[in-house]
Amino acid sequence: MMLRLCWLNRWFSALLFSLLWVDFVAADDIDWEVNGFVTQGFSLTDDNNFYGKSESGSFDFRELGISSTTRLSERFLVSGQLVSRRAGEVDDGKLSVDYALVDYRFLEQQWGHAGIQVGRVKNPFGFYNTTRDVAFTRPSIMLPQSLYFDRARNLELSSDGLILYGTKMLSGGRIKSELLVGAPRKDKNVEYAYLNDDWPGSFDQTRGYLWRTEYSLNDYSFIGAFTYGNFKLDFDHPSTPAPGAPGDGRLDLGVIVLSLQYNWDKWSLTGEYFRQDVDWGSLGGVFSLKPETASESFYLQLEHRFTSELSMFARRDVFYIDEDDKDGKKTEALLGVPAYNQYAFDWTLGVGWEPSSHWLFRAEWHKVEGTGWLATQDNPDQTKKKENWDLFLLQATYRF
């Protein structure tokens, strides 16, 4: 079934590109844009590591990207982005394709529009997932890690497949819906994030869907969104697994997100709730001890824009890996890992300065209790993590 879906997706993509080529030849006025960005970060912690060996100060965070968008006609658009991302031991700076898609808007009326995107498309998830790839479109240096995992960025960011989308205009606002069907991206970081190690074997085939619907008032003073979906990732073990290691099986992820935002004058209040049901029971090994769990998380963020150049925000971010074991004591007794690996509570203060349309500078301070979202790659010995720690981040970005 998966091979058939991939074949149909490739066939449909080829058909759309053929239509695009015809439209390209016939077009008199083609709108073509090329943009890029360079981001350099610095992280400093008193304990634990984030974006490299941050206990002594780390510059091991940088992003270089180039994107291109070509509008061949009112109906057709082609867009893509290449990124080199270095983030400590999580990302090594290799070039990757964040997205590469064809957008065909097949319906355009006064009451709204509808269309389809095919290729590597961005996952419609929460408020910020589709804009997390560029620093200028993120609300902070680091998005709330309870929802937007940096340790599994590629899995969350985009999938190979298609999106059906539509917008309906109402008297006082609008409703926008998106439905994704495709194969979420997979890499070694997904193993670390959901299997807590780089086990022998790897994730093979993936498939999933996401549905997101957003309602907003005409002046965007209120925005509400709901996301629902499921990802399935097949794990392929090359041989008979050693005791405790996962064998051939499937990781099943179910997600629900509720997002709300109020905007007035120079203030914005944003909150999101996230529930993720994780089922790894078919993998066996150590995962048979606790085959299913449900994580729960939420954040609340208040932002104030002093001027068009200067802004500040405060945020409270809460993350529980297991809603039935919020203090981590059951997991500590079962697996022998520190209880504070099962949660993370983060107070954040941040400031941003945008002196021109090309430059952005940010600084953030995080006071964290727990290590639930820390990357294993930067902190391989779980017993050496500290429960209470501080994180200071600086970031500079240039775009063209």
Work out the burial of residue 262: count CB atoms within 10 Å of its CB; fewer than 13 is exposed, 13-18 middle, 19 or more buried: middle
What average pLDDT does the chain have?
A: 91
Confidence of residue 4 (pLDDT cuts 50, 70, 90): very low
Q: In this structure, what CATH number is given to the domain that contains residue 364?
A: 2.40.160.10
What is the per-residue pLDDT across 111-137, written as a single tens digit (0 to 9) for each? 999 999 999 999 999 999 999 999 999
Amino acid at position 218, single letter: N
Span 50-73, average pLDDT: 95
Q: Considering only 60-64, 70-74, 97-101, which range has the smallest mean pLDDT? A: 70-74
pLDDT value for 381: 86
- CA–CA separation, 268 vs 248, rounded Å? 47
Considering the entire predicted model, what is its pTM? Answer: 0.89
pLDDT value for 29: 65
Cα→Cα distances 149→18, 75, 189, 278, Å: 37, 34, 11, 15
Tell me which residue range forms the domain holding 153.
Answer: 2-399
- CA–CA separation, 299 vs 226, rounded Å? 15
Confidence of residue 6 (pLDDT cuts 50, 70, 90): very low
What is the per-residue pLDDT across 11-52, written as a single tens digit (0 to 9) for each? 444 444 444 454 444 445 678 899 999 999 999 999 999 999
What is the per-residue pLDDT across 173-204, written as a single tens digit (0 to 9) for each? 999 999 999 999 999 999 999 998 888 888 98
- CA–CA separation, 257 vs 27, rounded Å? 41
- CA–CA separation, 139 vs 132, rounded Å? 9
Span 157-186, average pLDDT: 97
- CA–CA separation, 104 vs 231, rounded Å? 25
The domain total for the chain is 1
Work out the burial of residue 259: count CB atoms within 10 Å of its CB; fewer than 13 is exposed, 13-18 middle, 19 or more buried: buried
363 vs 26, more confident: 363
Kindly report the backbone phi and psi dihedral angles of residue 199, in degrees, each rounded to the nearest multiple of 5, phi listed first: -75, 160
Span 67-96, average pLDDT: 94
- In 46-81, which positions are buried (b, 16+ CB within 10 angstroms) versus exposed (e)? ebbbbbbebeeebebbbbbbbbeebbbbebbbbbbb
- CA–CA separation, 143 vs 348, rounded Å? 11
What is the per-residue pLDDT across 277-331, written as a single tens digit (0 to 9) for each? 999 888 888 888 888 999 999 999 999 999 999 999 999 999 999 999 999 999 9
55 pLDDT above the threshold of 70: yes
357: which residues sit within 8 A by CB, 6+ positions away?
none
β partners of residue 300: 271, 316
